[in-house]
Amino acid sequence: MAGSNGKQKSARDMILSLGLIIIAAWVIYLFVPHDDRAPDIQRVDYRVELLTARRAASYPVAAPEGLPEAWKATSVRFDGADSDAWHLGFHAPDGEYVTIEQSTQKRARFIDEASQGSTATKATDEIDGRTWTRYSGGRYDALVLEGTDGSTTVVAGTASFERLLEMAKALKTA
Residue 114, exposed/middle/buried by CB under 10 A (0-12, 13-18, 19+)? buried
**Residues 6 or more apart from 116 whose CB is under 8 A from it?**
138, 139, 140, 156
Q: Express as a percent the part of the chain with pLDDT over 70.
A: 94
From CA 155, how far away is CA 141, in angstroms rounded?
A: 9
Per-residue pLDDT tens over the stretch 66-102: 999 999 999 999 999 989 999 999 999 999 999 999 9
Residue 30, SS3? helix
What is the average pLDDT across 121-150? 96
What pLDDT score was predicted for residue 10? Answer: 83
What pLDDT score was predicted for residue 88? Answer: 98
What pLDDT score was predicted for residue 108? Answer: 95
What pLDDT score was predicted for residue 12? Answer: 85
Mean pLDDT of the chain: 92
What's the chain's Rg over C-alpha atoms?
27
Task: List C-alpha distances in Å: 61 to 21, 34, 43, 82.
Answer: 61, 43, 21, 15
Q: What share of the chain is helix, strand, coil (3-state, %, to 5)?
A: 35, 30, 35
